[in-house]
Amino acid sequence: MNYMASINFQPVRGAGANSHNHVTHAKLLSGYGDLVRELGGNPDLLLDGVGLTRLELAQPNAMISLRATGQLLEDSATVLGCPDFGLRLAERQAMEPIMQPLDRLFRTAPTVRDALEYCSRHVGVFNSGLIMEVDGQDVVLPDFEGLDHGGKAMGALHMVDFKLLDGLSLFPQLMEQLLLLTHNSIVWLSAGFARSRAIWFSHLNIGPPIAYARRFNTVVKFGQEYDALQFSDADLETRIAGCNAAVFASEARLAAERFPARGQEIDVRVRLAIIRALTRSEECNRYNIARMLGFQERTLNRHLFKKGTSFEAIRDEVRRDLAFRYLARADLSLCEIAGRLGYSELAVLSRCCRRWFGMPPRQMRQDLLPTRQAA
């Protein structure tokens, strides 16, 4: 299913930087051409459709549009009739140094936790539109026994949360590729001693269940509030197979000098706080968001004004992105979607969808789910 094929997004006024500015290392499309040809397609035509070229992808340190990358994966899945295209691409890349230019740092880290934390700290160097949060909250899974195959206690589960900014989460093929790449990297770096204990996707499955079960070999849940991997305490403390204290210290120094970890920009922090408030059904107003971030309302307004945006503009953008995601899920009624977005009436959702997408929510759902009956 190509989620982005027929929807014309209306820009959110005053929203500041948008997803067209985000870039990713071209390594994220490593092996793309070979996979398309194996599936009987023409990679040049698909690349041209999103404004990319083979020559551009072949440059050693090329950075390419993240939105074009996400659209490319969606187009490829649709044109080739391959709903697990993102997973297939990630599978091909399992043994490649995709996380350039920081791959050596991760491969020599002491533990899985160190590798993930350094990845989250510096991920913007590889992908400017991706936020990774490690150990954000404990996770409770009823089918997680907390024991490994030898009966050893593994401790609590912890979440590694992935968020694509500014509407980019509307590309599920891209999210599936990123989560499988991370999952496979942890298995490889730990020589198989650590792995994800559960996988969460915010979208419904777009491929057959066996496609996920075979590749992740663990619990995979869809329609969740987050896109995330869950690891146990024992997994996070597992030593990296190629750990080298001297090389890691040297690489860490170089990374700190060349790619200093920067705090999240205030508009990004507000966006993430709004997402948390809405997904937890908390009051999503300026006062509560400012309090969550440790600001006075006036101070928050001043910071956002300097960024060329406002609380209302960011909240509207988040609601737009969540509305698109929820409308692509046949398991949610329109009334449930309105409630999840903090609207007291379905009519408010209808007005907003007309403004955002140029059509009412019921028509949009019919376009997104052509083979399913709209709620």
Whether the pLDDT of residue 179 is over 90: the answer is: yes
Q: Which one has a higher pLDDT value, 144 or 79? A: 79
The answer on pLDDT for 352 being more than 60 is yes
Compare 145 and 198 and report the one with higher pLDDT. 198
CB 199 within 8 A of CB 162: no
% of the chain surpassing 70 pLDDT: 85
The per-residue DSSP string of 207-269 comes to S-HHHHHHHH-SEEE-S-SSEEEEEEHHHHTPBPTT--HHHHHHHHHHHHHHS---PPPHHHH
Those residues with Cβ within 8 angstroms of residue 174's Cβ, 6 or more apart along the chain or in another chain? 69, 70, 73, 86, 164, 168
Structure tokens at 110: 């002491």
CATH fold of 266-368 reads Arc Repressor Mutant, subunit A (1.10.10)
Please state the domain extents for the chain. 19-258, 266-368
Say how far residue 270 (Cα) sits from the centre of its chain: 17
Distance between CA atoms of 144 and 118, rounded to whole angstroms? Answer: 27
> Over the stretch 188-215, which tens digit does the pLDDT of each residue have?
999 999 999 999 998 888 888 899 999 9
pLDDT at 75: 96
By C-alpha distance, which of 272, 260, 271 is closest to 311? 271
Neighbours of 296 (CB within 10 A): 11
